[in-house]
A and B are shown apart, each in its own frame.
Chain A
């Protein structure tokens, strides 16, 4: 029996469940390795070579190289693991989160200062705003 997933109709949201975790195991473990300063330095020195040490899929590696967090998540990444890449780049959580929304950094920051993204229109896929 497949896992019950009542959350699939929430727009713009990927829940990190067992299926995602299985897909993203090595991607996320690669991210964990960036908790060590020596690994951060090796990754920065040659990203491709460092990624090739991990049994990740080519799509996962390319998504990391492109810093495309939405694609990283689609391929099984979880934001708390992916945050280690952002930390290695010196990025804040706000910059990381904003990068997934199609907004500029300033637009996202301004949205948050004005109370954040409203819930109206954002509960269900296809919901009228």
Chain B
């Protein structure tokens, strides 16, 4: 049977992708950030999964205002890299896992989560920056990826509670897939940041630290945090953090092993947070 081996959490700032694509990772501005991902890259080499279920949000690239799915699952064989306006990032196309994706959709939808099935979709920096951070510059991604975009752009966005429960349903779905696959669930976006208006540039280190602590120790309680608290305390785009609760919900009930924890300000406008949790 398939099983969730670990979960990975990371911000997905587009400038991080640009820094890698333009060879700027050793510049003083970027060096501390990339150094903070070195332990995870080493761990990932030894623990490469067969499939990553990658929770992220689309940033008005795959979905315009015509259709805005709350939860969508990428069921295609491959996903092309989106041109977000700067031209597509020079990274490999993403290979999906249609069989596992279809199985998860069937299980989770019948568990009362109404996912949108997506059979063709370009993927943006929300998905590719985390892959670049954990795998570096590669000719091909070393495993399959199931993209799982969540709407956190157009309000109302799903609650933290709903995200956590979806993670639980996802865990059940993965555990009932009849092949010995190692699956990681990644939750991306955040941490505190605001990209718009006179309050742009907001960072709340204290909020971020408390979020990381609680995500590790008591995610169920964290899942009850209301939207308004994210927006007020962590900035309008800090709401992306609800997506981390999907990944956390997919982990087992026993306390996880913290493989790596990292926090850095700034990457462009954003506080970067990163966690690797292993199921014990």
Contacts and interface: CB of A to CB of B under 8 A. Distances in A.
Contacts, number: 156
Given A37-B87, A81-B60, A16 B202 contact: no
A12 B195 contact: no
A14 interface: yes
Contact of A32 (B18, B64, B265): B64
Contacts of B195: 79, 93, 96-97
A122 B202 contact: yes
Interface residues of A, number: 56
A21 B83 contact: no
B154 A16 contact: yes
A115 B198 CA distance: 17
A80 B199 contact: no
A112 B266 contact: yes
B25 interface: no
Size class of the B contact interface (CB-based, 8 Å): 35 or more
Nearest to A97: B200
Nearest to A70: B197
Interface string B179-215: 0000000000000101111111111111100000000
B154 A21 contact: yes
Interface string A85-118: 0111000111011101110000010011101111
A54 to B, nearest CB: 13
A31 interface: yes
Interface stretch (B159-167, B168-176, B226-234, B244-252): B226-234
A28 interface: yes
Contact of B85 (A40, A113, A118, A124): A40
Contacts of A83: 59-60, 84-85
Contacts of A118: 203
A18 B85 CA distance: 25
Interface of B: 14-15, 18, 59-61, 64-66, 82-87, 153-156, 192, 194-207, 228, 231-233, 235-237, 265-266, 268-269, 271
Interface of A: 6-7, 10-18, 21, 24-25, 28-29, 31-32, 34-37, 40, 69-70, 73, 78-81, 83-84, 86-88, 92-94, 96-98, 100-102, 108, 111-113, 115-119, 122-124
Given A24-B65, A73-B196, 4 more contacts: A16-B153, A87-B86, A115-B203, A116-B202
